[in-house]
Chain A
Amino acid sequence: MKAAFKFHGGVHPPTHKTESTRTPIAQTALPSKLVIPLHQHVGARAKPVVQVGEHVLKGQMIGKPEGRLSNAVHASTSGTVSAIDLQLVAHHSGQPDLCVTIVPDGRDEWIAHTGVDYKQTAHTELRHLLRQAGVVGLGGAVFPSDLKAYSNKHKIKTMVLNGAECEPYITCDDMLMRERPADILRGAEVLRELLYAEEILIGIEDNKPEAIAAMRQAVIDGKHEHMTVVAVPTVYPSGGAKQLMRILTGIEVAAGVRSTEKGLQCFNVATAYSAWRAIAHGEPLLSRIVTVTGNVAHAQNFEVLLGTPVDELMAQAGSRPDTDKHIMGGPMMGVQLPSATVGITKAANCIIASSPALFPPPKPALPCIRCTRCAEVCPAELQPQDLYWFAKANNFGKAQEFHLFDCIECGACTYVCPSNIPLVNYYRYAKSEIWAREQEAQAAELARERHEFRQLRIEREKQEKAEKLAQKEKAAAVAKAASDAVQMPTATPLGPNADPDDAMQLRIDAALARAKEQASAAHPKNTETLTPQQHAEIAEADARRAKAHEMALSDAEQKSE
């Protein structure tokens, strides 16, 4: 079956895929150590559940999910935990994150594990198993799969299985589909069950005929009734979830809309494979297929244990001496690794050894000539030349009006720009600025609310105190008036009609007020002891907040116009 729809725009960069598909997926040698980040997924960081010095088994959970949007992390091999500390990680922020370092003992000894028959298992239990097995989206988004394999509000008609792999250089999904199609489809079947989806459409770019053939054969061999393999035209970014959904079903899911609202859900082929290993074999996600390519002697796909240091992996592919950096992901959307010592994570589908010859530094940018080549290729159908203009001018309100947040950052605009303008960087910058300002505005709003509430409470307390005093005096007067020395039965300063709850509330309020007074009395002392530099910083922060507030106001004005 051929794809019936297409999306707007797209580009055709040289694919460079054949380099790494000549040999089958290879196993890597056991590395000298594993640096396993506890935050390899969307959501909260997993909480470490092992101690330094503890011996762990392969498949043993070392980080447990914390909160609903979180996921588990496991020891990829047996060995000893040598450290739990902040290490550089494979993330574009370049910030260190909490990692568990394991020195392998060489025995690669598994923890006891066993699978379940998914047809005999409750859906909630299956989702729990996926979560405990650390299964996340392996296409790069690393969203916890248990949360995606669920739709209570919306009926899912079509589950899209993403094997498009449109980024140049990356071939991990291609090789996985060629070599292990049966387990991919079984995993997809489990996910379909969880979604109650009617059908599965498997989208694979038509530059992967071997993978298409293997998957089609596996559909027949596995007697999968609801599945269709669709060859989709090779055009970047057809592997973007929303683009692939559009290609396969004709349905467009706008930014900010969940695909489930349109009856669609999308999983990557490698995710389906991992889901099957987790459900049917009880194997947590311990390894993934990684394409090692670029400036290496033998470009190839490896099955890599999570946490394997990138440099040890690259050595096995024969890293060339003029390699100056490593890119995780493809050349269109990948990120430059902050160091070659970081561990492979669940998101690492490809590592490209880069050299100045392979990826020459960008040429200096010329002014935009509004040629709209960017608009012609934009898969989100934006007007990138306008967004660029607004982002450059820090006119973020206008940028949002022109749908900045619909940008999927695919980089197609930058790719075609004849003026060499790093367009997508401007959009990333504008987005992060807007987020930062929104956070500041929210913080300012919260602070304002707190302040106003405090003022209100102080006012109320004052009033209540006055009332209390008045009542006390009144009571005393009454007591005095009852001159025959009848003792008041209780110590309450309130009148006889007072509700005991009110009395309690008053005491609580009074205590709070005292605490508050103490706090506010202590407060000025704190600021008095600050250094002039700290004062300057506070003033700066205040000024920034004021500016953010102003911006928010002017934005609101513009909107209301």
Chain B
Amino acid sequence: MWISPFITKSNSVGEIMFKVMLALIPGIALYVWYFGPAILVSLTLASLTALATEAAMLKLRERPLKPFLSDNSALLTAWLLALSIPPLAPWWMVVVGTAFAIAVSKHLYGGLGNNTFNPAMIGYAVLIISFPVHMTHWLTPHALGGIELSFAEQLSYIFKGVLPNGLTLDAVTMATPLDTLKTQLHLGLSVHDISDMPIYGHLAGKGSEMVALGFAIGGVYLLLNRIITWHLPLAYLGALFATAGIFHLVDPTHYVTPLFHWFSGAAMLGAFFILTDPVTSPTTAKGKIIFAVGAGVLTYLIRAFGGFPDGMAFATLFMNICVPLIDAWTQPKVFGKKGGKQ
């Protein structure tokens, strides 16, 4: 016998994931505007790999294909990963990273809803550890006016590894603003000197700061549509701002402004799209805040003192492990058992 409730609100996992992907569009559009269409190639490549891997894993696990392929979760993972790696990365890197994310960090953990770690960040971690050099070849923004590859030349490099005659990869790519900052600080330059370099714009890297803004706009859309709550992004950005702010106040010649950190690297993408993955983040309001504060502080520490240029991915992965503990510790009081008033 069918038991109540007999009605349900019409929403689905697929719809939620779709809206999250929709919210990525402003960021992607600005990416294309400032850096050219190469990112669309890696997005497509990652999407196809994700769907193929998802289908293969579902088949192996004897699960129905249709409901899971249409839940859009694999596509979202693919997009987040593609956005985290350099657009000029060779095609096989995108494929390896995406396949690993879907096959190992999602399906081997039990598939949708059961993974401990954010699959996109696992994919990123695998790539940056296995192919660190390739992961540093980021495109130069148009605004810098350097040598630019045509779309055909970009495709040729991505799929065949061939650059036009007379060009080296270093001539058409650059390190990220975060990476450059770290290198230059090591060379003894002050923050002030470094930020006068042409690759920096208003707040952070030229172009990339605008892409970050695009992700923030998408994040606001998610908040307004109640796909995510304010807890994770606000606590993350707040913690990152506060930590960076303290260091910046104490020693502004060696530590950049908190706004630089907000608009550099994966901070905005992470705050609104990566930490907010419901499967791998805590469920309680208090837990979300603890989780995001932890990730914010760790991101800063890795960026400022760690071996990697950006800390978002490893901060997320580290906090992912703590989720069951955080959830257990932050169980809220239930109706009528709050004490206090009464």
Interface string of B7-48 (1 = CB under 8 A from A): 111011101100000000000000000000000000000000
Residues of chain A contacted by B213 (CB below 8 angstroms): none
Residues of A within 8 A of B (CB): 7-8, 11, 13-14, 92, 94, 168, 242, 246, 250-255, 257, 262, 325, 327, 329, 331-336, 338, 354, 359, 361-364, 366-372, 375, 379-383, 385-386, 402-403, 406, 411, 414-420, 422, 424-425, 428
Show 21 residue pairs from A and B whose CB-CB distance is below 8 angstroms, ordered by the A residue.
A7-B335, A92-B3, A242-B336, A251-B342, A254-B334, A255-B334, A329-B4, A332-B7, A333-B4, A336-B2, A359-B6, A364-B67, A366-B67, A370-B279, A382-B334, A383-B283, A383-B331, A383-B332, A402-B331, A415-B9, A420-B8
B334 contacts A418, C-beta separation under 8 Å:
no
Contact of A416 among B1, B9, B279, B332 (CB under 8 A): B9
Cα of A367 to Cα of B8 in the assembled complex, Å? 17
Question: Smallest Cβ distance from A107 to chain B, in angstroms?
Answer: 39
Question: Smallest Cβ distance from A60 to chain B, in angstroms?
Answer: 35
B111-119, B128-136, B151-159, B314-322 - interface stretch: B111-119
B4 contacts A381, C-beta separation under 8 Å:
no
How many residues of B are in contact with the other chain, CB < 8 A?
38
Cα of A382 to Cα of B68 in the assembled complex, Å? 28
A253 contacts B336, C-beta separation under 8 Å:
yes
Residue of A nearest to B283 (CB): A372
Cα of A325 to Cα of B1 in the assembled complex, Å? 10
Interface centre among A250, A361, A363, A371 (most CB of B within 10 A): A371
Question: Smallest Cβ distance from B117 to chain A, in angstroms?
Answer: 14
B71 within 8 A of A: yes
A369-B284 in contact given A254-B336, A332-B7, A364-B67 (Cβ < 8 Å): no
Residues of chain A contacted by B310 (CB below 8 angstroms): none
Residues of chain A contacted by B112 (CB below 8 angstroms): 366-367, 369
Residues of chain B contacted by A13 (CB below 8 angstroms): 7, 9
Residue of A nearest to B114 (CB): A367
Cα of A542 to Cα of B212 in the assembled complex, Å? 65
Cα of A383 to Cα of B328 in the assembled complex, Å? 11
A406 contacts B335, C-beta separation under 8 Å:
yes
Residues of chain B contacted by A363 (CB below 8 angstroms): 12
B4 contacts A418, C-beta separation under 8 Å:
no
Cα of A354 to Cα of B4 in the assembled complex, Å? 12
Residues of chain A contacted by B9 (CB below 8 angstroms): 11, 13, 415-416
Residues of chain B contacted by A332 (CB below 8 angstroms): 4-7
Question: Smallest Cβ distance from A5 to chain B, in angstroms?
Answer: 11
Residues of chain B contacted by A325 (CB below 8 angstroms): 2
A371-B16 in contact given A381-B334, A386-B327, A406-B334 (Cβ < 8 Å): yes
A370-B336 in contact given A385-B283, A411-B4 (Cβ < 8 Å): no
Contact of A331 among B1, B6, B15, B284 (CB under 8 A): B6
B335 contacts A362, C-beta separation under 8 Å:
no
B160 within 8 A of A: no
A336 contacts B3, C-beta separation under 8 Å:
yes
Cα of A246 to Cα of B342 in the assembled complex, Å? 11
Residue of A nearest to B327 (CB): A386
A370-B342 in contact given A332-B7, A420-B12 (Cβ < 8 Å): no
Question: Smallest Cβ distance from A173 to chain B, in angstroms?
Answer: 19
Question: Smallest Cβ distance from A157 to chain B, in angstroms?
Answer: 13
Cα of A519 to Cα of B242 in the assembled complex, Å? 81
Residues of chain B contacted by A385 (CB below 8 angstroms): 283
Question: Smallest Cβ distance from A494 to chain B, in angstroms?
Answer: 63
Residues of chain A contacted by B16 (CB below 8 angstroms): 369, 371, 418
Residues of chain B contacted by A92 (CB below 8 angstroms): 3
Contact of A359 among B7, B334, B335, B338 (CB under 8 A): B7
Contact of A334 among B1, B6, B335, B341 (CB under 8 A): B6
B337 within 8 A of A: yes
Residues of chain A contacted by B8 (CB below 8 angstroms): 362, 414-417, 420
Question: Smallest Cβ distance from B209 to chain A, in angstroms?
Answer: 31
Residue of B nearest to A336 (CB): B1
B186 within 8 A of A: no
Question: Smallest Cβ distance from A399 to chain B, in angstroms?
Answer: 13
A422 contacts B3, C-beta separation under 8 Å:
yes
Question: Smallest Cβ distance from B129 to chain A, in angstroms?
Answer: 28
Question: Smallest Cβ distance from A256 to chain B, in angstroms?
Answer: 9
Residue of A nearest to B281 (CB): A370
Cα of A361 to Cα of B35 in the assembled complex, Å? 49
Contact of A254 among B7, B278, B279, B335 (CB under 8 A): B335
A425 contacts B7, C-beta separation under 8 Å:
no
Residues of chain B contacted by A415 (CB below 8 angstroms): 5, 7-9
B3 contacts A428, C-beta separation under 8 Å:
yes
B71 contacts A254, C-beta separation under 8 Å:
no
A416-B113 in contact given A333-B4, A334-B4, A336-B3 (Cβ < 8 Å): no
Lowest 5 A-B CB distances belong to which pairs?
A: A254-B336, A367-B113, A411-B5, A252-B336, A359-B6
Contact of B336 among A255, A417, A422 (CB under 8 A): A255
